[in-house]
Structure 1
């Protein structure tokens, strides 16, 4: 069954119409040509009747010449008579093929043939045979021949007129045929231009725009045929390319943003800042509903959540995850950490367990666990939750993995920094062993004071571990000075004071250790300007150094040295807050001193714990 909306069917019908015109035209041409050939031959034969009639008259007259032998005229006369009879027969047969239109001409021809047979031939035979031929007979034959020839001329004229009428009729038929088919051809040309040429040109132009990167180009579907189907597929292809382009653009932009975030993260000064920044960045750029980051505690194999964003339902409060073979270690998070590969879970998955019930209860549809891998193990995992079951497409999973790797690198870099800092701090204490865990205690003291003063968590964490480098400049000091039982000489005291500038030189200008450098250089400066090495006063002294000033002073009082005994907590606090002649309250930032008085009891706890 034809599909009339199909352009193939439509053009097939158009082709049939054009073929019908061509065949009709050819048919008329062939038919007319054949008719013209027949008419021409009949006209020629009819015209030859006149010639042959006069020739027969001439032969007949020649036979009266005494010198002409009778038999010489008899044979040519009979041949001419036979030719004229054949001409009559051929003409009659030709006229009989179109008897309806040529009935009058047939009657005229038959009348001529009868006169020929009844009048001309008998007289011709009589004259040729010279039987009782008189001059009147010859005259009569000539008259009969003239009349016959005249009638033949009339007949030939009518044949010619009929032939000219046929030519005019044929031309008229051609004109009518052209006039009939010309609108059809115009319609066919218009149809082809509208339904085929224009859409194809439009497709070509749209394809060029598509190649130039204009993926928003679309074409209207005007016709429900193959061109319409092709246009629809072009639109779908363009839409798919546009979606792919947008996806890739978003992917590239997100990847660029993640790389920028990773660059910021790697230069941060504290672990807590890295943890929170990682969750904030993942929540902002990857668009999950919740993100949390957990680290494995090696001693207990427990996963400790250190940062979280988007936990509207206190979901993480219910989590108890380990990385061992206990039931709490067999969930997606524990398995991802143990197997060191991502785990994607959706409520559409054919799985069961407490954790799948928990995410359904809190309205989540899927979650993705990415382990934080390093070259020597797994630090923990970053886990992203979405309320959409199919949220984590392949591209988003890849971005999450990339960012998790960057986060792992940042955390590991910070761990390495901590390790190097503590290693350097321990090296600085090698000649001052009687200070014990001094570097750890002053870090905790400083963090406690910073927290009590309301400083942000990043500052608190930074001062906790960067304060440990406060005496790294003592690496330049001879152990004899550090372990001397008596007072230092002026020269030795000058060398001792240089440990601040030497410490700043050792630490250098790295942006991640700015606080450590400030503390090493300025922790012996005093609020009233009586300190060293530069005699700074007030807020000229960096805040970290002002905090460290009290922390270091407290621990120096509490700790026994070769040149002095240990002092108890109460006495140490009294010396700091009231003064003893050598140490005065004016040495300290009043705000830091006020914070110390509020948390002094906790200083004692720290000292006892790390003594």
Structure 2
């Protein structure tokens, strides 16, 4: 039976290419150039899959998505977004609404075919579960004496489906790899009610070793030094299908020779984690707490969770790649600033170290510390808009020059405001020259109106400015600069931040660590 695919795009060339490609793959393709045509086709005959351009001439693709979801009758129809815009916010909007996946134009036909195959396979499995439920409902009406038993089975099936979809959504939305691995481990142990699990993964695509990334039910030390060669016999035995395999078999003594390490005999099953048809990890799962054997449902659940984790790992990798690109851009911008202003060479790094030390001393949350670290590195990025002759002027600045220099926090905020991963850092850059008494700039914020990160950066920035040679004066000693900072407590600086900073500066270990960067500690 041919699968029907509805392709919606306002570009005839794209429709022609996709139609030809999908027809060759054996799919029955229906095309639409606009939203209204797409909705009519969808109502007339609901397809197995919709490939939807997110930008249409007569209606936003996300709105079309909502209407299609509302029109679905008795089965789930997956929707795959297409867009020429690959920004993270647009992708997340689609995923939040329930889209199966997202492709950026120009589309790789190989990637398109692979994603369609996986989506239709997953949907087919889900549809099979729904059909099984309907079959059970029919049986209830025919055999009243089995009603109670079958009704319980139905509830279990519905609960299982809800659990599966919930697990899939949870594991594919987490973008921090360590957080994902922890959630993955907890999900497997909790859903399967097993005593233990261990997860080994490749550090990178080119790695030849699978290393331990997560473990539950055992101390991590139990597996110290345990690594699994990518090309070992055990990995070859597992194969390339993401399907659980029983490790220990009472009627097969060769399993001991297959294992890369005897410590892995503590587990019962091994399941490959597949990403784009390539193995990226192995999950080992221990006995059930009930001591019962794994049921077929348990094995299906294990396979589903591992597949979802694979998708989540790929999403996390792409997100990290995006962050790395942004950070590379930021470092380039900082190097440009330092090239313009001889004073700033090393300044941003020192300010970041001071700011991070203060944030840690104040026991701020990890996420807040991360934002402060970025804010400290980027606090002077607005100086890209200031002429070198102003930055390096030895004489006192005139009114116009001072006005230009004072604009750098606003300019800096505008430079980074569209970088998604720096959300929350923008305000730190904008307000790092605000004063505790409200007489700073650019917005004249006062006291706790000023973000805590900006208050910390202000102290770190001020201290480093005082202890660094400037065009118009020599650097102060640390003790002299600290006295000046304390004099500004409650006026220019937050008193609590100043107290924490004083503790840091009086710490001999900190002073020793910074000695290489300061000649006068």
Q: Same fold (TM over 0.5)?
A: yes
SS of 2:500 mapped into structure 1: helix
- Which residue of 1 is the match for residue 248 of structure 2? 348
Equivalent position SS for 1:525? coil
Residue 302 of structure 2: aligned partner: 396
Shift of 1:473: 2.0
Partner of 1:504: 413
* Structure 1 residue 413: Cα displacement: 0.9
Change (3 A) 1:259 1:495: same
Alpha-carbon spacing, 1:591–1:580, altered in 2? closer, same or farther (3 Å): closer
Higher helix share: 1
After the TM superposition, which residues 333-482 of structure 1 pair with which residues of structure 2 at under 5 Å, given as runs? 344=244, 346-349=246-249, 350-352=254-256, 357-360=262-265, 364-368=267-271, 370=273, 381=281, 383=283, 385-388=285-288, 390=294, 393-433=299-339, 434=342, 435-482=344-391
Return the alpha-carbon distance in structure 1 between the equivalents of residues 386 and 499 of structure 2. Answer: 34
Are the structure 2 counterparts of residues 427 and 511 from structure 1 closer, same or farther at C-alpha, using a change threshold of 3 Å? closer
**Matched position secondary structure for 1:410:** helix
Residue 578 of structure 1, CA deviation:
2.0
Q: Is the 8 A contact 2:434 2:444 kept in 1?
A: yes
Deviations 1:453-477 (A, max 9, x none): 2233333334334543322222222
| Distance change (3 Å), C-alpha of 1:555 and 1:413 | farther
Residues 437 and 491, structure 2, Cα contact 8 Å, conserved in 1: yes
- Under a length normalisation based on structure 1, what TM-score does the superposition of the two structures give? 0.48
> Over aligned residue pairs, what C-alpha RMSD do you find?
4.8
Bigger radius of gyration, 1 or 2?
1
Query: Which residue number in structure 2 is paired with residue 525 of structure 1?
Result: 434
Please state whether the residue corresponding to 1:370 is helix, strand or coil: strand
Which of the residues 165, 169, 173 maps onto 1:259? 169
Alignment CA distance shift 1:365-1:462 (3 Å): farther
Match of 1:487 in 2: 396
Contact map agreement 1:257 1:285 (CA 8 A) in 2? no
Cα deviation 1:511-548 (Å, max 9, x = unaligned) = 64232112111122233334321222221111222222
CA deviation string 1:323-348 (max 9, x = no partner): 778xxx95979999xx9986856442
Aligned residue number for residue 495 of structure 2: 590
Cα-to-partner distance string for 1:180-206 (whole Å, 9 max, x where unaligned): xxxxxxxxxxxxxxxxxxxxxxxxxxx
Deviations 1:429-464 (A, max 9, x none): 413234345444444443333232223333333433
Aligned residues: 369
- 2:101 paired residue number: none
User: Matches of 1:519 and 1:219 in 2, distance apart?
Assistant: 68
State the secondary structure of the residue aligned to 1:524. Answer: coil
Q: Counterpart in 2 of 1:187?
A: none
Q: Distance between the aligned counterparts of 1:467 and 1:609, measured in 2?
A: 20
Deviation, structure 1 residue 409: 1.3
Q: State how far apart, in whole Å, the 2-side matches of 1:334 and 1:455 are.
A: 47
Change (3 A) 1:533 1:271: farther
Give distance in 2, aligned partners of 1:610 and 1:272. 33
Which of 441, 447, 460 aligns to 1:551? It is 460
The 1:245–1:385 alpha-carbon spacing in structure 2 relative to 1, beyond 3 Å, is same
> Residues 453 and 356 from structure 1, CA distance in 2 versus in 1: closer, same or farther, beyond 3 angstroms?
same
1:386: Cα distance to partner? 3.5
Inter-partner Cα distance in structure 1 for 2:405 and 2:188: 49
* C-alpha distance in 1 between matches for 2:240 and 2:454: 43
- Give the structure 2 partner of residue 203 of structure 1: none
Distance 1:545 1:382 in 2: 44
Q: Structure 1: which 5+ residue stretches go unaligned?
A: 1-208, 222-234
Scaled by the length of structure 2, the TM-score of the pair is 0.56
Query: How much does 1:272 deviate?
Result: 5.7
**Kept in 2: contact 1:332–1:343 (CA 8 A):** no
